[in-house]
Structure 1
Amino acid sequence: MGASKLDIYPESINQMAAIAKVFAHPARIAILQYISKQESCICNDIVDEIGLSQPTISQHLKVINDAGLLKGNFKGKSICYCLNVERFKEFQIVLNSFFNGTTSNCC
């Protein structure tokens, strides 16, 4: 079996790809925008606001969480979500470094 992307590329590239995956889907961006305007919220709040089914929202939340962009606390049987602002700041630094390190000498 061939090597996986986790084996081929350095951790920094894999992390950038995971976060870029979050921003590659409009529903995930809408979820992040909604969460960013709340003190905290649970999945059903997001379902009501975004208009997608609960399982679909949960799948999107998993992708966002896997990238480290969410913090969550258990509240009864629900998880209260909020943004991981520190992780967003780290991602901003990584992206700025990436774009500032590129050259414009192409074609």
Structure 2
Amino acid sequence: MENSDLESVAQEVFAALADPSRRSILATLAARGPATATDLAAQLPITRQAIAKHLTLLAEAGLVIPEPGERRRVRYRLDSAPMKIAQQFLGALARDWDGPLAALRDRLR
């Protein structure tokens, strides 16, 4: 995957994680496993309609995968692949800063 592709995925992940409600949804899915929007609404202080909108955005970012369930109910499960790409992006960014920051620290000493 090219650097611009990595950056694009990372950007979508960071945008999705910027909202505390979406982070709560992801944390709940991580702790309790796949769930429907109705299941999540019963566990979180968020309306079902708001959860459905957040799940759509999380799915667009690739962080959750909708899976058809019984009686046309869609269950959502986590997908860690985009998060790993975002971590790689942050790791590369940190490496780019390590040298200049070390040089600055040495110069200030």
Structure 1-normalised TM-score? 0.78
Over 3 Å counting, the alpha-carbon distance change for 1:89 and 1:15 in structure 2 is closer
* Residue type of the alignment partner of 2:14: A
Q: Could you tell me how far 1:92 is from its partner in structure 2?
A: 1.6
8 Å CA contact 2:6–2:86 kept in 1: the answer is no
Structure 2 residues without counterparts, runs of 5 or longer: 105-109
Structure 1 residues without counterparts, runs of 5 or longer: 1-9
Please identify, of 40-49 and 80-89, the stretch whose mean Cα deviation from structure 2 is larger. Answer: 80-89
Alpha-carbon distance in structure 1 between the residues aligned to 2:26 and 2:78? 8
* 1:69 aligned onto 2:60: no
CA deviation map 1:49-89 (0-9, x unaligned)? 11211111111111111111112210031111111023322
Secondary structure of the 1:37 match is helix
Considering only aligned residues, what root-mean-square deviation do their CA atoms show, in Å?
1.6
Over 3 Å counting, the alpha-carbon distance change for 1:15 and 1:87 in structure 2 is closer
Between the aligned residues of both structures, percent identity stands at 18
| Alignment: residue pair count | 96
Q: Which has the larger radius of gyration?
A: 2
* Residue type of the alignment partner of 2:60: D
Please identify, of 24-33 and 92-101, the stretch whose mean Cα deviation from structure 2 is larger. Answer: 92-101
Alpha-carbon distance in structure 2 between the residues aligned to 1:96 and 1:35? 25
Greater share of residues in helix = 2
Higher relative contact order (CA 8 A, sep 6+): 2
1:89 is matched with which residue? 84
